[in-house]
Amino acid sequence: MDKNTEIAKREDRNLEKTRELYEVAPAVDIYENDDEILLYADMPGVVKEEVSVNIDNGRLSLSGVRKLETGGAASWEEFGNVEFVRNFSVPQTIDVEKVKAELKSGVLALHMPKSEAAKPRQIEIKTA
């Protein structure tokens, strides 16, 4: 066996295997009041640049990727890179133009205001 073949085989053994990105559904709390629907999604370790929120045709899609910096080879790993993904149906009464999202301490808060037509209103009764 010549040296070139031996070096190539040795390099193949040292190649680092790439890991699959696991998909996880984040824990979610949803609240509704007269003015809005408020959704909290738990996405620990996710940064703002890795979060995506889309509302299209009555469908809300949330996703966020957590990428951890590691130092060295893992001898035990239970907490790694992950993609948080969750989808919901939302009522057509949501005012999509006014939806706001904020990420704080690993919790995504999504404020989805209701359109004026969807809000409950008191009907005035007149006497004849």
Report the CATH number that the domain containing residue 103 is assigned in CATH. Answer: 2.60.40.790
Q: What per-residue confidence (pLDDT) applies to 19?
A: 57
Residue 123 lies in a domain: no
pLDDT by residue for the chain (128 residues), tens only, comes to 444 444 444 444 444 444 578 899 999 999 999 899 999 999 999 999 999 999 999 999 999 999 888 777 878 877 788 999 999 999 988 999 999 999 999 999 999 999 877 666 777 888 87
> What's the structural domain count of the chain?
1
Q: What per-residue confidence (pLDDT) applies to 55?
A: 93
Residue 101 lies in a domain: yes
Give the single-character DSSP code of 34.
S
Residue 8 lies in a domain: no
B/e letters for 32-64, b = 16+ CB within 10 Å, e = fewer, are eeeebbebebebeebeeebbebeeeeeebebbb
Residue 6 lies in a domain: no
Residue 40 lies in a domain: yes
Q: How many CB atoms lie within 10 A of CB 102?
A: 10
Residue 12 lies in a domain: no
Residue 81: give the domain boundaries.
18-68+77-116
Alpha helix positions (H), the chain: 3-13
Residue 122 lies in a domain: no
Residue 24 lies in a domain: yes
